[in-house]
């Protein structure tokens, strides 16, 4: 392994000193964009690079937008999610927003006036420093507007049920100093969620069937609080300290009946369920960047958090006629979690392109304490990951390229085993400009992933009579090879991306039912399958029949084949035709949108799960600094979620959950934003985050 590290460092040095004398100049800065800004706006709204698309906006779009967030919704790959009141990728996956290279929030983007947006960079192949954090990265590049104070607030609520989204923010600048405060809340309280669950299996030569119908009252509150201080001097240094808390609380309480059958006899059972979960991780994020010269910059980033998440479940089942208890689950879990991430990065601008190199180390320790009727269990896992990387991006005539090479060390330690693995992680992106509005791109990367703490934990959790769930502390890391061939085309009326993809994962982590406890029970647990794969075609884009925002049709269509070969050699198959659509219209200060999809089953371990159904219509009216919103979500239907097992499963399961509070749910909302004075912008090069909360 020392040879591999030495090779990577030698390659890094070689790239550093070999590229400086190449002829062509490729730079990506606010200053250069200002020079070509008029060309972009007048002749071409979209410019495709090897790893990103760059969008600029005409005068009409800038006038209609109230703040930068409105401009993001005009991108063909992005859409407004009315349920969470946030911007999301139409393709799904994790979405990360940056402002001038700094990890930001949509509330910060609301403080930016549209006329101060120079361009928006859309990364469908995020650079190395973001690649493990998100599937899609959007970077808003701004001028330094004369703004010293910006504030705003918005809220939307349902008329007949517990549904509230609220946001508020404030930013103040004085010289080199900037202070920011943000708060957001998502509140749900639904009392009419219905679920049907059917388990069917053979155990010790007897046939069992459980058919349960349950209605519950559930809800959650998610609050995000952030306090930020920045001290910066343009073209010299940036220091930023950010303290945040993500406060989450969840509860569910319900009752139901179950028909429990064994061979030819049946009993009517009563069921009750009560569960909850909470965590409030405080997080400190420190960042410093220093310009060493016009071409050299070094950046440091440290993120740390320490907290305890708690969850509980109380489930009971009894024979209604006699009151005899059948099933009892009383589970309490506490997970103490300490996480820290540190990174140092160096960039150098050459005539031929840009070199980025760095080292990242992250450590996440989770100590689980579980108490239930099966006993008390203590389980700890420590994740240590080191990553050394180097990446060069450049252009030669019509050929664009990005070459990356990294070395990843994953060191996972549990009470049962220790895994130490070194993996070479290359990445290749090639792009060729066919015409000014057409391009072809090839992407290939190899990346290792650690199993989650819940997958590794041997803690035993009661599910239903005769069935438990538990993790597997002997799981190994999985390694993914992802390949994409993308064709892009855009003009005044079309913005289209066609993508052929093939993703192969070795040692894929897969859930499955197995016989357990001397063949007296079944357990839902995990294994390292031989491999999993996804192959398909994805068509994403927008159509503007009139060449304007008067009518826009966005579509995401992705026929896909999934394959999993289990450790025993069984080949699991699933094919689906993924889809979602958005039809929108803008006229003066009024906008109208309609979103819909046809849910499909996707394979996830032992189960096939449908995505959330969509059938929403909502409208906005903007006047000066005010925005008024209304809409109706899940027209004519509840939100519905379906799950079932494959035919190969030892336990056959089918479940359907419907939230009737959501059906024909009417929402009204109001927002106000204000900005005045002078504001300094920050160009932050590193953005890290600690591990998410560990739950069972």
- DSSP secondary structure of 385-433: EEEEEEEEEEEETTEEEEEEEEEEEEEEEESS-EEEEEEEEEEEEEEEE
pLDDT at 81 exceeding the cut of 80? no
pLDDT tens across 581-601, in order? 999 998 888 999 999 999 999
Look at the domain 45-143 and name its fold. Answer: Ferric Hydroxamate Uptake Protein; Chain A, domain 1 (2.170.130)
pLDDT tens across 153-172, in order? 999 999 999 999 999 999 88
Q: Where are the domains of the chain?
A: 45-143, 544-662
- DSSP secondary structure of 435-475: ETTEEEEEEEEEEEEPPPHHHH----EEEETTEEE---TTP
Nearest-angstrom CA–CA distance, 637 and 633 = 9
User: What Cα–Cα distance (Å) separates residue 373 from each residue in 160, 241, 308, 356, 362?
Assistant: 40, 45, 22, 53, 36
Mean pLDDT (the chain, rounded): 85
Identify the weakest region by mean pLDDT among 12-21, 109-118, 285-294, 520-529.
12-21
- Burial code (b: 16+ CB inside 10 Å, e: under 16) for 147-185 equals bbbbbbbbbbbbeebebbbbbbbbbebeeeebebebbbb
Nearest-angstrom CA–CA distance, 16 and 392 = 9
pLDDT at 483 exceeding the cut of 60? yes
Q: How far is CA 643 from the centre of its chain?
A: 21
Nearest-angstrom CA–CA distance, 651 and 513 = 7
| HSE of 458, CA atoms in CB hemisphere, 13 A | 13
Q: Predicted confidence band at 45 (pLDDT cuts at 50, 70, 90)?
A: confident
CB neighbours of 18 closer than 8 A, spacing ≥ 6?
none
Across-strand partners of 536?
A: 501, 560
Which one-letter DSSP state was computed for residue 107? H
pLDDT tens across 205-242, in order? 999 999 999 999 999 999 999 999 988 887 888 898 99
Residue, of 519 and 149, whose pLDDT is higher: 519
pLDDT tens across 646-688, in order? 999 999 999 999 999 999 999 999 998 887 654 344 444 555 6
Nearest-angstrom CA–CA distance, 601 and 640 = 13
| HSE of 29, CA atoms in CB hemisphere, 13 A | 11
Both tokens of 367, joined, read 């100590």
pLDDT tens across 344-379, in order? 999 999 988 899 999 999 999 989 888 876 677 788
CB neighbours of 368 closer than 8 A, spacing ≥ 6?
333, 334, 335, 377, 378, 379, 380, 381, 453, 457, 459, 694, 696
CA proximity to 463, closest of 523, 509, 416? 523
CB neighbours of 22 closer than 8 A, spacing ≥ 6?
350, 351, 352, 353, 394
Output the pTM of the full model. 0.83
């Amino acid at each position: 392994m020392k040879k591999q590290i030495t090779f990577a460092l030698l390659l890094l040095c070689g790239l550093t000193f070999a590229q400086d004398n190449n002829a062509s100049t490729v730079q990506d800065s606010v200053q250069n964009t200002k020079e070509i800004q008029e060309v972009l706006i007048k002749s071409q709204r979209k410019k495709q690079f090897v790893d990103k698309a760059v969008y600029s906006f005409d005068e009409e779009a800038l006038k209609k937008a109230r703040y930068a967030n409105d401009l993001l919704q005009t991108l063909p790959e992005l859409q407004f999610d009315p349920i969470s009141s946030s911007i999301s990728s139409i393709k799904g996956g994790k979405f990360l927003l940056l402002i001038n290279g700094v990890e930001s929030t949509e509330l910060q983007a609301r403080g930016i006036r549209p006329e101060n947006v120079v361009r928006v960079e859309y990364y469908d192949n995020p650079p190395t420093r973001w690649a493990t954090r998100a599937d899609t990265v959007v970077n808003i590049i701004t001028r330094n507007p004369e703004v010293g104070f910006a504030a705003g607030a918005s809220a939307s609520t349902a008329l007949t049920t517990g549904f509230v989204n609220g946001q508020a923010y404030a930013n103040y600048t004085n010289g080199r100093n900037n202070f920011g405060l943000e708060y957001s809340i998502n509140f749900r309280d639904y009392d009419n969620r219905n679920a049907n669950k059917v388990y069917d299996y053979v155990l010790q030569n007897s046939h069992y069937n459980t058919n349960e119908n349950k209605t519950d009252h559930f809800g959650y509150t998610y609050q995000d609080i952030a306090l930020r201080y920045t001290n910066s001097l343009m073209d010299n240094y940036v220091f930023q300290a950010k303290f945040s808390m993500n406060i989450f609380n969840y509860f569910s309480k319900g009752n139901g009946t179950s028909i429990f059958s064994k061979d030819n006899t049946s009993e009517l059972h009563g069921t009750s369920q009560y569960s909850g979960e909470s965590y409030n991780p405080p997080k400190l994020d420190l960042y410093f960047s220093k310009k060493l010269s016009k071409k050299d910059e070094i950046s440091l980033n440290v993120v740390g958090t320490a907290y305890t998440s708690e969850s509980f479940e109380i489930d009971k089942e009894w024979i209604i006629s006699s009151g005899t208890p059948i099933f009892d689950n009383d589970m309490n879990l506490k997970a103490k979690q300490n996480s820290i991430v540190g990174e140092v990065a160096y960039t150098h601008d050459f005539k031929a392109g840009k070199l980025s190199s760095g080292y990242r180390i992250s450590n996440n320790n989770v100590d689980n304490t579980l108490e239930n009727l099966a006993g008390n269990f203590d389980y700890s896992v420590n994740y240590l990951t080191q990553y050394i990387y180097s990446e060069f991006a450049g252009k030669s005539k019509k050929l664009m390229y990005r070459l990356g090479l990294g070395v990843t060390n994953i060191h996972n330690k549990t009470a049962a085993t220790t895994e130490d693995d070194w993996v070479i992680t290359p990445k290749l992106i090639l792009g060729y400009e066919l015409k000014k509005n057409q391009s072809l791109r090839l992407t290939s990367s190899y990346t290792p992933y650690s199993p989650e703490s819940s997958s590794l934990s041997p803690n035993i959790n009661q599910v239903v009579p005769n069935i438990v769930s538990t993790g597997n502390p002997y799981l190994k890391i999985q390694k993914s090879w992802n390949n994409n061939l993308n064709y892009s085309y855009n003009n005044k009326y079309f913005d289209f991306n066609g993508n052929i993809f093939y993703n192969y994962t070795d040692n894929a982590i897969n859930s499955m039912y197995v016989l357990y406890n001397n063949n007296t029970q079944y357990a839902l647990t995990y294994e390292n399958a031989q491999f999993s794969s996804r192959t398909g075609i994805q068509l994403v884009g927008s159509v503007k029949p009139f060449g304007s925002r008067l009518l826009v049709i966005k579509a995401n269509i992705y026929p896909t084949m999934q394959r999993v070969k289990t450790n025993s050699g069984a080949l699991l198959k699933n094919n689906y035709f993924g889809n979602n659509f958005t039809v929108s219209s803008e006229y003066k200060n009024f906008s109208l949108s309609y979103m819909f999809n046809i849910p499909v089953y996707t394979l996830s371990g032992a189960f096939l799960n449908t995505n959330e159904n969509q059938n929403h219509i909502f409208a906005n009216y903007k006047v000066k600094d005010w925005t008024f919103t209304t809409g109706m979500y899940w027209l004519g239907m509840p939100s519905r979620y379906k799950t079932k097992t494959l035919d190969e499963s030892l336990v056959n399961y089918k479940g359907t959950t419907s939230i009737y509070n959501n059906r024909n749910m009417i929402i009204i909302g109001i927002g106000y934003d204000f900005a005045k004075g002078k504001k300094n912008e920050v160009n932050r090069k590193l953005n890290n985050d600690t591990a998410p909360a560990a739950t069972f």
